[in-house]
């Protein structure tokens, strides 16, 4: 009966109250997770005689998943985030270029920025989304340059690859040098090693695939550590540094920048120490997060599921507070909290900070005032200002552990850039016309804010 009023049905799981199911991040559900569930409903509707076409969505990121949906008897495939990530998804399928599809990673940066800023859209995979009206093209369809430059690019992480892709599309000769055996930087070697972030490898895999397929003028040299002498003798017209950022080894935080006393002990590790340098993590682990990247809590979950006893301290904001709206708006808070609890991660009291790392563990200092709102309001002041601090009711606690993991703040790797720029300014490098810094080496942020440094790199590739 409804057939004559309805053009098509879109069947999805979730309503506004369960929006983390509807717009599920990849930390919560795998790609295409809704499809099989929705198919059951749709089959029942069809058996009841409804003839109107049916479609569904739910991170149908790849054509393989789309084919599966069609094989299950659905008439249409819906792509919301997959078409933000790649607006040319359907065209690429039609033209048989499925290897060029830029698959959504399910990070929910898009929906988070829409929630927070209402009209502004950001996407990690597509850093020019919403800027098409200013002439930006997600596919880098820009006019070719008349006089191609010979560009030396130091660093082949996500932002370096974005620069190389765009500069390569315009016809420049780009030489990517990366010290690691594979391209991809921190995303390949750290972030994508964490279970909840596995899909993030697509950021760098897609860019490398496109460069290798479409731009023979972009040369790739891995295991190639550059120094100032090599750069000076390279004969490049321009040098671009996309050397990225690393986790601070001193445990400094973005508010006070104070190092944590005891940070130099060998059992104090950063994510690079664990995933790149393969340093051993003990059985009693204390994870400290203070920059809003929430990488630390996801590492805590993985380690706890490995059977380790894990303590998690997030400051200045507790994981579950309204202030952690970054996680809330990304629709990840519920999943992270539930996984922490089921894995047995023990939360350190809120409104504390790590005062000192000793040979036996971590000494934490905290305070408590009457009422949650008062605590939130005064916490940052107390934490940042030692004079204010003495007036408050304070307490300390000692937590025994054999490993401390720091995800407190990311610092840019710019020493080589500054050295080469100095040499260039002093006229010590013949023929060199420009030295640029881009990506996270320019603006290290939380991984969620990767669209910004990716955009700067895209813009540099468009304009250089």
The reply to whether 81 sits near ligand FMN by the rule CB under 6 A is yes
Count of alpha carbons within 13 Å of 421, Cβ hemisphere only?
10
State both tokens at 42.
């749709």
Listed in sequence order, the DSSP H helices in 48-146 are: 63-71, 81-85, 89-94, 109-117
CA distance 462 to 52: 46
The backbone region for 352, taken as left when phi is positive above 0, alpha when psi lies in -120 to 50, beta otherwise, is beta
- Given ligand FMN, ligand SF4, none, residue 107, with its beta carbon under 5 to 8 Å by kind, binds ligand SF4
Element (H, E) at 221: strand 218-221
**Shortest approach of ligand FMN to residue 460 CB, angstroms?**
27
Element (H, E) at 462: helix 451-463
**Shortest approach of ligand FMN to residue 192 CB, angstroms?**
20
CA distance 156 to 165: 11
**Shortest approach of ligand FMN to residue 79 CB, angstroms?**
5
CA distance 201 to 372: 39
Which residue's CB is nearer to ligand SF4, number 126 or number 313? 126
Which residue's CB is nearer to ligand FMN, number 56 or number 413? 56
Within 371-410, the residues that bind ligand FMN by CB under 6 A are none
- Given ligand SF4, ligand FMN, none, residue 75, with its beta carbon under 5 to 8 Å by kind, binds none
State both tokens at 369.
């005032």
Which residue's CB is nearer to ligand SF4, number 102 or number 175? 102
Segment lying near ligand FMN (by CB under 6 A), choices 78-86, 219-227, 241-249, 429-437:
78-86
Which residue's CB is nearer to ligand FMN, number 29 or number 258? 29
Which residue's CB is nearer to ligand SF4, number 88 or number 177? 88
Within 88-147, the residues that bind ligand SF4 by CB under 6 A are 104-110, 123-125
Segment lying near ligand FMN (by CB under 6 A), choices 57-65, 93-101, 240-248, 441-449:
57-65
**77 touches 67 (CB < 8 A):** no
The backbone region for 297, taken as left when phi is positive above 0, alpha when psi lies in -120 to 50, beta otherwise, is alpha
CA triplet 367, 372, 376: central angle to 5 degrees? 65
The reply to whether 114 sits near ligand FMN by the rule CB under 6 A is yes
- Given ligand FMN, ligand SF4, none, residue 276, with its beta carbon under 5 to 8 Å by kind, binds none
Parallel, antiparallel, or unpaired for β 410-412 and 245-247?
antiparallel
Mark residues 10-29: x for contact with ligand FMN by CB under 6 A, - for none: --x---------xx------
Q: Which residues bind ligand SF4 (CB under 6 A)?
A: 81, 84-85, 104-110, 123-125
């Amino acid at each position: 009966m409804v057939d004559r009023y309805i053009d098509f049905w879109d069947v999805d799981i979730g309503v506004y109250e369960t929006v983390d199911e509807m717009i599920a991040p990849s930390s919560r559900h795998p790609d295409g997770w809704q499809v099989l569930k929705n198919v059951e409903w749709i089959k029942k509707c069809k058996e009841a005689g409804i003839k109107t076409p049916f479609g569904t969505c739910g991170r149908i990121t790849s054509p393989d998943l789309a084919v599966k949906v069609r094989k299950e008897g659905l008439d249409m495939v819906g792509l919301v985030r997959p078409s933000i990530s790649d607006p040319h998804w359907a065209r690429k399928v039609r033209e048989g270029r499925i290897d060029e599809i830029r698959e959504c990673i399910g990070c929910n940066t898009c929906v988070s920025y829409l929630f927070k800023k209402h009209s502004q859209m950001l996407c990690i995979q597509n850093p020019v989304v919403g800027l098409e009206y200013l002439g930006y093209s997600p596919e880098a369809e820009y006019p070719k340059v008349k006089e191609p430059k010979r560009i030396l690019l130091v660093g082949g992480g996500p932002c370096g690859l974005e620069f190389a892709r765009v500069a390569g599309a315009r016809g420049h000769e780009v030489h990517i040098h990366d010290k690691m055996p594979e391209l991809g930087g921190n995303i390949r070697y750290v972030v994508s090693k964490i279970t909840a972030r596995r899909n993030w490898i697509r950021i760098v895999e897609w860019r490398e695939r496109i460069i290798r397929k479409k731009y023979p003028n972009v040369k790739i040299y891995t295991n190639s550590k550059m120094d100032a002498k090599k750069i000076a003798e390279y004969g490049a017209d321009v040098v671009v540094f996309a050397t990225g950022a690393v986790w601070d080894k001193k445990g400094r935080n973005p508010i006070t920048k104070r190092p944590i006393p005891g940070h130099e002990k060998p059992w104090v590790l950063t994510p690079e120490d664990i995933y790149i340098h393969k340093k051993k993590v003990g059985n009693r682990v204390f994870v400290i997060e203070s920059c809003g990247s929430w990488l630390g809590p996801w590492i805590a979950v993985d380690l706890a599921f490995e059977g380790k006893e894990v303590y998690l301290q997030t400051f200045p904001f507790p994981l579950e507070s309204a202030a952690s709206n970054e996680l809330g708006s990304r629709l990840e808070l519920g999943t992270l909290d539930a996984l922490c609890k089921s894995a047995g991660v023990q939360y350190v009291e809120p409104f504390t900070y790590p005062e000192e790392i000793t040979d036996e563990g971590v000494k934490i200092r905290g305070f408590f005032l009457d009422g949650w709102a008062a605590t939130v309001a005064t916490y940052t002041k107390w934490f940042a200002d030692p004079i204010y601090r003495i007036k408050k009711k304070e307490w300390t606690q000692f937590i025994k552990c054999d490993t401390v993991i720091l995800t407190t703040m990311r610092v840019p790797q710019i020493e080589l850039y500054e050295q080469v720029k100095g040499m260039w300014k002093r006229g010590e490098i013949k023929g060199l016309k420009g030295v640029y810094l881009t990506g996270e080496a320019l603006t290290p942020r939380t991984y969620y804010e990767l669209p910004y440094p990716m955009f700067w790199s895209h813009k540099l590739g468009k304009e250089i």
